[in-house]
Every structure is written in C-alpha cells, then in structure tokens.
C-alpha cells in the first residue's frame, strides 16, 4: 500500500504558505512560509524530499489554487516528472 504525502500551497505574490499532511489527515509538517521565487521553490523541494525520506512516503500530491501570476514561480519550477511516483 502506498503512503501518500499531501502538500497544500496557498500562493501569494511575495510569499507562499505550505502545509504537509498524510493521507489520514495528520499534520506531518505544520504551516510554513517561503518566498515566491526560485529560492523559495528550492526550499520547498528540499523540505518535500526530507519529509518523503524521513516518513517513508511513496507518493506525493501537491495542491494549489488555480495557476495565476501569484504562483507562477512554483508552476515553472522544474520538478522532474518522476520526482516521486
């Protein structure tokens, strides 16, 4: 059975906020903010990788609002297609 990490992102023009939960709805990493730019996207990626490995998650699902100018940095970040399967 897969263990899914769910990442919710509230995107804004300057800073984004993310929260990580598991498929049971338990908070894995409480809300944190990060800049809405490439360094912020890199910070998010590093946290995802760390939590995925530490928690032995096998799948990743990320949700954000509809793509607008606010979350453009996240949408353009080059996550590989096989980032986590």
- The domain segmentation of the chain, as residue ranges, is 4-71
Confidence of residue 2 (pLDDT cuts 50, 70, 90): confident
The values of phi and psi at residue 51, to 5°, are -70, -40
- Does the pLDDT at position 76 exceed 60? no
Domain 4-71: top CATH class? alpha beta
pLDDT at 63: 85
Plot region of 19 (φ>0 → left; ψ -120 to 50 → alpha; else → beta): beta
Neighbours of 44 (CB within 10 A): 22
Q: How confident is the model at residue 85 (pLDDT cuts 50, 70, 90)?
A: very low
The per-residue pLDDT for 24 is 93
Q: How far is CA 72 from CA 25, 78, 81, in A?
A: 27, 12, 18
67 confidence band (pLDDT: 50, 70, 90) = low
pLDDT given at position 68: 61
CA separation, residue 50 to residues 12, 16, 60 (Å): 24, 19, 12
Are residues 27 and 21 in contact, defined by beta-carbon separation less than 8 angstroms? yes
């Amino acid at each position: 059975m897969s263990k899914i990490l769910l990442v919710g992102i509230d995107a804004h023009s300057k800073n984004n906020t993310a929260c990580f939960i598991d498929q049971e709805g338990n908070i894995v990493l409480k809300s944190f903010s990060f800049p809405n730019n490439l360094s912020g996207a890199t910070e998010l990626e590093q946290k995802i990788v760390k939590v995925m490995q530490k928690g032995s998650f096998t799948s990743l699902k990320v949700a954000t609002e509809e793509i607008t100018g606010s979350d453009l940095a996240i949408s353009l970040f080059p996550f590989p297609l096989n980032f986590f399967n």
